[in-house]
């Protein structure tokens, strides 16, 4: 990959004069947007990331789609594909479900077919073949040579505007296709995706506007655009299904497209700015006008890159080039969302489908919370503190108009994907850490309200009645019981901080309900029906998916560890340290897989599956039972074997920053096992140096002798003093200081094993 990028930089400067390769000391130079864009083979998972152009947390994410009706990967781009169907302006990064892909543009030459064409069939539709040798990407910039048309396409973006530069071959009949039906042809039927209405309208010979209204994973999305070209088109077609209208001003329908003809005088590249808005055509124009004046493509590329550089500078690391590439691409992926859905005037679509106005002009969405509450949001509370408050204020808006905090919020709208109410740990964590910019009273109202009002997947009436979820009344009952108990613990912590003693007692009691599904006979958390009897037969290897089974995207082995609020209680449930360690050892070594493994489970070490979230904290649990060197060994194994800097660099879907955030924390040496207790368990650091830049101060982590062999901690110093605990607190970090690790090839079985070395239940009294 590295070799290829170097080659591409040369190719790029040859074909697009003026675009300077970035100086090597820029952190953006370590970001490889192709990481996570494909799987090595059909048995593994793509990270489901897209390689296209975006600014941090931007609404427009302009990227090539290799699939017309993307499903897997959900990013629309598969590194293994050989053709590109065009460039659409909105994408999801790392998700398991596909949506968005709005307003596809495709430059072409010659006689163009007006259907998208079948993937990877050369000459099919308006697709073009491409080669990774003629493709490059860096933060805020993407480039590809479309070989069937001999067109070089370059993309950059601002918050709401995509900027394209197409270099057509001299004398070729140059055209641009705009496809408003992209992503929603007849093949794609899940989530009942359907275009409700769409329009294209020629404003003048340099301008076209349009929109589409659709239902899909996001229940109802409206997406408006305005495109302005650097030179006039001489004629155009409007297409409605099979009907082609020559030079018509308007077309309305559900399957509409346009082909704009720019003639054969291609001395200058053709530029097009595409402003987008989820509110109106007027706002799309306003967004574009405010963000890009004139036609300086290089300037917009450079501004986008500077924005990324500024965000990446939150943490400076030393390490190998591969480590830097994984780390900074990880930060890049973590900062790709949530996305600010508000237009430049603050208007956004609220969860009640009205248009409302955010005074601060920020309304974030794409909250993949079942994934991101684990490590991505704790990372934001460290290095995106202002945005964390913005995220929380955005979540409050759903609470106000929808009644519950987000579960999985897409395009400002709840889709009830996955389980739990994991906005709660996000908000409680930020509140306990003392982040400013949101109202703590409102925070408590929202986390409590979302914990008492029964809603889909959260039947609190059953919870209060049975003290566990009965599988015959609520499927995924074991996973929900465990995750709900955790969320309840979080509510209790905020109640405690606010001296709401009764609430504290109530929610603490609920947080212990996890014990009611522990089956001491099998040694697992196991489903009961509402008659209180265990559901049989029981096989701890058996996988569940997203309903119809007590476990969510996992099995009883993977969910066994999900008591982050009470690891001590879990250890005691299983019979003490020794039994717990034995079970963990088994977990990491038991290789049996049943006939059917859930598609999200991948990246196996025994039963541990790093490719999906339920396992993410498990390797750190040895710290809690006195054998931290085993945490170090397995964390090192994950860091070294389950991440790399290739297109298939993740062991599963990247999941909106969660997979990357695991690496970012773990590579620095610590990880938030309980994402809301301000405690980080120490693992196996791999970076010689990492400096976290915090407001006014730095926290520096240094590691002596790190290597793939030197994976064991020999000793630790915190602020110069010998440190024997297997955790640090959030307070240790934010007050600034240094954490020094010394590594070696053999475990130091004396470090971190004393009783007081074990991670606390909470950093707060």
Per CB under 8 A, 355 contacts its own copies: yes
Write the binding mask 439 to 458 for its own copies: x where contact by CB under 8 A, - elsewhere. Answer: --------------xxxx--
Per CB under 8 A, 190 contacts its own copies: no
Per CB under 8 A, 367 contacts its own copies: no
Q: Of 256 and 301, which has the nearer Cβ to its own copies?
A: 256
For residue 291, what are its two tokens? 């963000």
CB of 423 to its own copies, least distance (A): 15
State which H helix or E strand residue 411 sits in. Answer: none
Q: Of 2 and 220, which has the nearer Cβ to its own copies?
A: 220
CB of 194 to its own copies, least distance (A): 7
Per CB under 8 A, 354 contacts its own copies: yes
CA angle 559, 652, 557 (to 5 degrees): 20
Q: Of 251 and 692, which has the nearer Cβ to its own copies?
A: 251
List the beta bridge partners of residue 167. Answer: 152
For residue 280, what are its two tokens? 């109106």
Region 525-554 residues binding its own copies, contact defined as CB under 8 A = none
CB of 415 to its own copies, least distance (A): 10
Q: Of 170 and 249, which has the nearer Cβ to its own copies?
A: 249
CB of 421 to its own copies, least distance (A): 14
Q: How far apart are CA 698 and CA 225, in angstroms?
A: 43
Q: Where are the beta strands (DSSP E) in 101-146?
A: 104-109, 128-129, 135-138, 141-146
Write the binding mask 578 to 617 for its own copies: x where contact by CB under 8 A, - elsewhere. Answer: ----------------------------------------
The phi-psi region of residue 373 (left if phi > 0; otherwise alpha if psi is between -120 and 50; otherwise beta) is: alpha
Per CB under 8 A, 708 contacts its own copies: no
Cβ atoms < 10 Å from Cβ of 101: 28
State which H helix or E strand residue 164 sits in. Answer: strand 161-167
Q: Which of 26, 164, 188, 222 binds its own copies (CB under 8 A)?
A: 222
Residue 367: closest CA among 427, 411, 312: 411
538-559 per-residue burial string, b: 16 or more CB within 10 A, e: under 16? eebebbbebeebbbbbbbbbbb
**How many amino acids of this chain bind its own copies (CB under 8 A)?**
41
CB of 231 to its own copies, least distance (A): 25
Residue 656: closest CA among 342, 413, 376, 309: 376
Region 274-333 residues binding its own copies, contact defined as CB under 8 A = 279-281
Q: Of 296 and 352, which has the nearer Cβ to its own copies?
A: 352
CB of 155 to its own copies, least distance (A): 27
Write the binding mask 618 to 657 for its own copies: x where contact by CB under 8 A, - elsewhere. Answer: ----------------------------------------
Q: Of 123 and 197, which has the nearer Cβ to its own copies?
A: 197
Residue 612: closest CA among 316, 393, 374, 258: 374
> What CA–CA distances, in Å, run from 510 to 328, 505, 516, 526, 754?
40, 9, 11, 18, 31
Per CB under 8 A, 400 contacts its own copies: no
Q: How far apart are CA 482 and CA 485, in angstroms?
A: 5
Q: Could you tell me if 684 and 711 are in contact, meaning their C-beta atoms sit under 8 angstroms apart? A: yes
> What CA–CA distances, in Å, run from 383 to 143, 315, 726?
30, 8, 23
Q: Of 139 and 210, which has the nearer Cβ to its own copies?
A: 210
Q: How far apart are CA 159 and CA 139, in angstroms?
A: 13
CB of 559 to its own copies, least distance (A): 24
Sole window of 33-41, 401-409, 570-578, 671-679 interacting with its own copies (rule: CB under 8 A)? 401-409
Q: Could you tell me if 733 and 356 are in contact, meaning their C-beta atoms sit under 8 angstroms apart? A: no
Q: Dmax of the chain from CA atoms?
A: 80
Cβ atoms < 10 Å from Cβ of 450: 26
CB of 402 to its own copies, least distance (A): 6
Say if strands 128-129 and 83-84 run parallel, antiparallel, or are unpaired. Answer: antiparallel
In the sheet that 670-671 helps form, which strands lie side by side, from edge to edge? Answer: 670-671, 679-682, 727-729
Q: Of 413 and 654, which has the nearer Cβ to its own copies?
A: 413
CB of 638 to its own copies, least distance (A): 38
Q: Is the peptide bond before 706 cis (omega within 30 degrees of 0)?
A: no
For residue 119, what are its two tokens? 């993937």
List the beta bridge partners of residue 702. Answer: 689, 740
Residue 718: closest CA among 752, 749, 760, 676: 752
Q: Of 411 and 524, which has the nearer Cβ to its own copies?
A: 411
Q: Which of 110, 169, 403, 594 binds its own copies (CB under 8 A)?
A: 403
Write the binding mask 333 to 352 for its own copies: x where contact by CB under 8 A, - elsewhere. Answer: -------------------x
Q: Which of 7, 121, 243, 750 binds its own copies (CB under 8 A)?
A: 243
Per CB under 8 A, 252 contacts its own copies: yes
Q: Which of 21, 203, 213, 757 binds its own copies (CB under 8 A)?
A: 213
CB of 454 to its own copies, least distance (A): 5
Q: Could you tell me if 69 and 78 are in contact, meaning their C-beta atoms sit under 8 angstroms apart? A: no
Q: Of 256 and 686, which has the nearer Cβ to its own copies?
A: 256
Per CB under 8 A, 251 contacts its own copies: yes
Say if strands 151-157 and 141-146 run parallel, antiparallel, or are unpaired. Answer: antiparallel
Q: Which of 87, 211, 364, 489 binds its own copies (CB under 8 A)?
A: 211
Residue 39: closest CA among 5, 76, 80: 80
For residue 265, what are its two tokens? 């005088």
Q: Of 138 and 257, which has the nearer Cβ to its own copies?
A: 257
DSSP secondary structure string for all residues of 291-336: H--S--HHHHHHHHHHHHHHHHTTEEEES-HHHHHHHHHHHHHHTS
Q: How far apart are CA 707 and CA 174, in angstroms?
A: 53
Q: Could you tell me if 259 and 179 are in contact, meaning their C-beta atoms sit under 8 angstroms apart? A: no
CB of 404 to its own copies, least distance (A): 7
Residue 272: closest CA among 231, 304, 305: 231
Q: Of 397 and 758, which has the nearer Cβ to its own copies?
A: 397
CB of 275 to its own copies, least distance (A): 15
CB of 442 to its own copies, least distance (A): 16
CB of 214 to its own copies, least distance (A): 10
Question: Tokens 């004069």 label which residue?
Answer: 17
Sole window of 170-178, 220-228, 616-624, 665-673 interacting with its own copies (rule: CB under 8 A)? 220-228
Q: Which of 127, 145, 201, 630 binds its own copies (CB under 8 A)?
A: 201
Q: Of 281 and 676, which has the nearer Cβ to its own copies?
A: 281
CB of 253 to its own copies, least distance (A): 7
Sole window of 53-61, 402-410, 583-591, 721-729 interacting with its own copies (rule: CB under 8 A)? 402-410
Per CB under 8 A, 197 contacts its own copies: yes
Interface positions with its own copies (CB under 8 A): 192, 194, 196-197, 199, 201, 211, 213, 215, 219-220, 222, 224, 240, 243, 245-246, 248-253, 279-281, 352-355, 402-404, 413-414, 453-456, 459, 461
């Amino acid at each position: 990959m590295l070799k290829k990028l170097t080659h591409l930089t040369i190719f790029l400067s040859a074909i697009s004069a003026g675009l300077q390769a970035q100086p090597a000391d820029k952190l953006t130079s370590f970001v490889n947007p192709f990481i996570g864009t494909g799987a090595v083979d059909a048995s593994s998972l793509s990270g489901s990331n897209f390689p296209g152009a975006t600014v941090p947390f931007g609404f427009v994410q302009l990227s090539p789609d290799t699939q017309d009706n993307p499903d897997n990967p959900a990013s629309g781009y598969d590194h293994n594909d050989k053709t590109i169907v065009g460039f659409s302006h909105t994408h999801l990064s790392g998700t398991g479900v596909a949506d968005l892909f709005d307003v596809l543009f495709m430059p072409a030459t010659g006689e163009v077919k007006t259907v998208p064409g079948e993937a990877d069939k050369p000459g099919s539709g308006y697709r073009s073949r491409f080669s990774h040798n003629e493709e490059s990407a860096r933060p805020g910039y993407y480039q590809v040579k479309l070989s069937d048309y001999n067109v070089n396409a370059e993309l950059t973006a601002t918050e709401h505007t995509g900027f394209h530069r197409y270099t057509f071959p001299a004398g070729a009949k140059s055209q641009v296709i705009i496809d408003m039906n992209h992503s929603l042809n007849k093949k794609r039927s899940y989530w009942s995706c359907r275009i409700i209405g769409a329009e294209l309208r020629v404003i003048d010979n340099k301008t076209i506007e349009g929109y589409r209204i659709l239902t899909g994973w996001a229940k109802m999305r409206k997406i408006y655009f305005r495109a302005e070209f650097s030179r006039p088109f001489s004629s155009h077609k409007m297409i409605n299904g099979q009907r082609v209208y020559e030079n018509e001003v308007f077309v309305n329908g559900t399957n509409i497209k346009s082909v704009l003809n720019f003639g054969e005088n291609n001395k200058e590249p053709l530029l097009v700015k595409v402003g987008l808005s989820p509110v109106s055509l007027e706002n799309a124009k306003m967004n574009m006008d405010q963000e890009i004046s004139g036609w300086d493509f290089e300037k917009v590329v450079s501004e986008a890159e500077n924005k990324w550089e500024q965000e990446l500078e939150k943490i400076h690391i030393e390490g190998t080039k591969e480590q830097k590439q994984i780390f900074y691409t990880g930060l890049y992926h973590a900062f790709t969302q949530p996305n600010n859905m508000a237009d430049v005037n603050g208007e956004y679509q609220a969860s009640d489908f009205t248009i409302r106005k955010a005074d601060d002009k920020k309304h974030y969405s794409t909250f993949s919370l079942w994934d991101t509450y684990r490590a991505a949001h704790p990372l934001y509370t460290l290095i995106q503190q202002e945005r964390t408050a913005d995220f929380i204020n955005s979540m409050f808006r759903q609470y106000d108009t929808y009644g519950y905090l987000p579960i999985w919020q897409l395009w400002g709208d709840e889709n009830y994907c996955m389980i739990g109410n994991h906005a709660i740990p996000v908000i409680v964590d930020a509140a306990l850490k003392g982040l400013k910019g949101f109202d703590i009273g409102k925070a408590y109202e929202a986390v409590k309200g979302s914990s008492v009002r029964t809603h889909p997947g959260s039947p609190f009436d059953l919870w209060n009645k049975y003290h566990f979820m009965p599988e015959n009344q609520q499927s995924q009952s074991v996973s929900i019981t465990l995750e709900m108990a955790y969320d309840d613990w979080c509510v209790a912590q905020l109640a405690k901080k606010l001296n709401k003693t009764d609430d504290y007692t109530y929610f603490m009691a609920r947080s212990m309900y996890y014990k009611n599904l522990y089956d001491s006979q099998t040694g697992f958390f196991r489903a009961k029906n509402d008659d209180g009897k265990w559901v049989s037969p029981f096989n701890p290897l058996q996988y569940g998916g997203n309903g119809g089974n007590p476990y969510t995207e996992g099995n009883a082995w993977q969910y066994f560890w999900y008591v982050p609020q009470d690891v001590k209680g879990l250890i005691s449930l299983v019979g003490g340290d020794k039994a717990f360690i034995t079970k963990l050892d088994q977990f990491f070594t038991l290789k049996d897989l049943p006939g059917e493994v859930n598609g999200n489970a991948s990246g196996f070490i025994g039963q541990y599956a790093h490719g999906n979230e339920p396992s993410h904290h498990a390797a750190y649990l040895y710290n809690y039972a006195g054998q931290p060197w085993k945490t170090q060994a397995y964390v090192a194994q994950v860091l070294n074997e389950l991440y790399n800097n290739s297109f298939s660099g993740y062991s599963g879907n990247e999941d909106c920053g969660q997979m990357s955030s695991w690496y970012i924390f773990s590579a620095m040496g610590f990880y938030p096992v309980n994402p809301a207790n301000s405690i980080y368990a120490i693992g196996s650091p791999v970076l010689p140096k990492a400096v976290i830049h915090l407001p006014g101060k730095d926290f520096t982590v240094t590691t002596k002798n790190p290597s793939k062999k030197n994976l064991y901690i020999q000793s630790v110093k915190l602020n110069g003093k010998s440190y024997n605990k297997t955790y640090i607190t959030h307070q240790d970090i934010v007050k600034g200081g240094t954490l020094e690790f010394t590594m070696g090839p053999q475990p130091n079985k004396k470090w971190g094993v004393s009783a007081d070395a074990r991670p606390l239940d909470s950093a707060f009294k």
